């Protein structure tokens, strides 16, 4: 049995719960109706609609099981309640300056399921997050990026 906990922010856990609710209440019903409709067309051996509905059902049930497992093993962290004394930790938001380009960027370190670069949310397992964890404002970190090593200065660590 897997007893490993999965870190999730409170927002990320809420999003997974919302998806789970949607799958259980709406998607399951839609799939059942699609299967019933396809069955009404007769011979199931050559019924593409039936096959597609059964595939969709397998996907939905698999995703439900996956979400339930993630939520049951989740360690939910609310960043606003953190007091890491200025250290970069899971769920913190970090303001960085790229020392080569001078560009500033902010990232929140989140769980794998929550990561979305468009929203400046990076996975705790990403190279940049691994380089940042445990550091403080004023520290310079080197990140091994695909384009080669990059250096960032930590400007501020926030727990929001």
For the chain, the structural domain boundaries read: 6-77, 79-158
pLDDT in tens, 27-51: 999 999 999 998 888 777 778 889 9
pLDDT per position as a tens digit, 87-110 = 999 999 999 999 999 999 999 999
CA dihedral 30, 33, 38, 39 (to 10 degrees): 150
Question: DSSP string covering 87-112, please?
Answer: B--TT-EEEEEETTT--EEEEEEE-T
Residue 137: per-residue pLDDT: 94
In this predicted structure, what is the pLDDT of residue 1? 43
Architecture of domain 79-158: Roll (3.10)
* CATH classification for the domain delimited by 6-77, as one of 3.40.50.1580, 3.10.20.30, 1.10.287.180, 2.60.40.420: 1.10.287.180
At 59, list the tokens.
């996907």
pLDDT for 3: 59
């Amino acid at each position: 049995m897997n007893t490993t906990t999965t870190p999730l922010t409170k927002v990320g856990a809420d999003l997974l719960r919302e998806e789970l609710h949607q799958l259980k209440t709406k998607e399951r019903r839609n799939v059942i109706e699609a299967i019933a409709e396809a069955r009404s067309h007769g011979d199931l051996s050559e019924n593409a609609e039936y096959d597609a509905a059964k595939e969709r059902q397998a996907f939905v049930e698999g995703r439900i099981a996956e979400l339930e497992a993630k939520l049951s093993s989740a360690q939910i962290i609310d960043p606003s309640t953190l007091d890491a004394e200025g250290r970069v930790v899971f769920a913190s938001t970090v303001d960085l300056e790229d020392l080569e380009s001078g560009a500033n960027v902010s990232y929140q370190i989140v769980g794998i399921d929550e990561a979305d670069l468009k929203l400046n949310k990076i996975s705790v397992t990403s190279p940049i997050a691994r380089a940042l964890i445990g550091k403080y404002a004023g520290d310079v970190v080197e990140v091994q990026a695909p384009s080669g090593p990059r250096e960032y200065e930590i400007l501020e660590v926030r727990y929001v």
